Chains A and B, each alone.
Chain A
Amino acid sequence: MAVLVQFAIGLIFGLGLIVSGMSNPAKVLNFLDLGGIPAGTWDASLAFVMAGAVAVTFIGFNRVLKRARPVFAERFYLPTRGDIDVRIIAGPAIFGIGWGLAGFCPGPALTALGFGSVSAVIFAAAMFVGMVLARFIAHLPSARVVASADSLET
């Protein structure tokens, strides 16, 4: 049952990505290209995606987190770290370069697999390699001293 629900939730997420336009790399790149503002080619749509998502999540999280526990789990698993370290700055910077190069971030890349494009398969395969590499480095004994075990929460 829990697995079926997770499938449905992934499906809604994917539909949101497609309806919003985020599954189209050209649209993402036109949003990231701020040089398009004076040129008149800037596509500001993605700001509306964030606005819609944050508005719903802000209200929804407030209500859901008032419950004693989730339906299928013992407790809520919320990121507990509040500190700002090198990784929280370097990670998104690296991510941003990759995002700006191809116009894909992890969610849309996975949804793009369902479009049946070879480009999406190439990107997703490379993305998984990058993810595994980052987790491997993060789990090295030397890294554990600096970063606590819960640092990959989110």
Chain B
Amino acid sequence: MIATPFTPMASLLGGALIGVSAVLLMWANGRIAGVSGIAARLFPPYEDGEFAGRLAFVAGLVAAPVLILLVTGRLPAQTIAAGPTVLIVAGLLTGFGSVWGSGCTSGHGVCGLSRLSARSLVA
């Protein structure tokens, strides 16, 4: 276990930004900002014509650290303790589970609980 500092204010602010993003996506195209759903639908079977928008959203996610690096000149700490085998097993489980459960657990937390969904509370 690698020790990490308790950062309530930064986490609250970051959480608020995630919330702003979820609200903006609902305002713009009327969809839930669940990363698992958006990422999973980058692959077939395609059910609608939203591919470009989903790709743009994911590109924005990937671009965020680049923007931080450009503005502040450095990147925040990121410690990945898991080795390649654990990463592969964890990735498979996370990807499968998030789609199988109609969304990642944190997505259910943000978008589902905000709509008082019972399914999301269970998830």
Residues of chain A having any CB pair with chain B under 8 Å = 2-27, 29-30, 33, 36, 41, 43-46, 48-58, 60-61, 63-65, 67, 69-73, 75-79, 81-84, 87-99, 101-107, 109-115, 117, 119-120, 122-135, 138-139, 151-154
Contacts and interface: CB of A to CB of B under 8 A. Distances in A.
B105 to A, nearest CB: 5
Nearest to A65: B26
A131 B89 CA distance: 13
Interface string B16-33: 111111111111111111
A121 B39 CA distance: 14
A37 to B, nearest CB: 12
- Which of A7, A36, A63, A81 is most buried by chain B, counting CB atoms within 10 A of its CB? A7
A21 B104 CA distance: 18
Nearest to B94: A98
Contact of B99 (A8, A55, A60, A130): A130
A105 B98 contact: yes
Contacts of A154: 32, 34, 36-37, 102-103, 107-108, 111-112
A53 B100 contact: no
Contact of B60 (A7, A61, A103): A7
A90 B88 contact: no
B105 A124 contact: no
A56 B28 contact: no
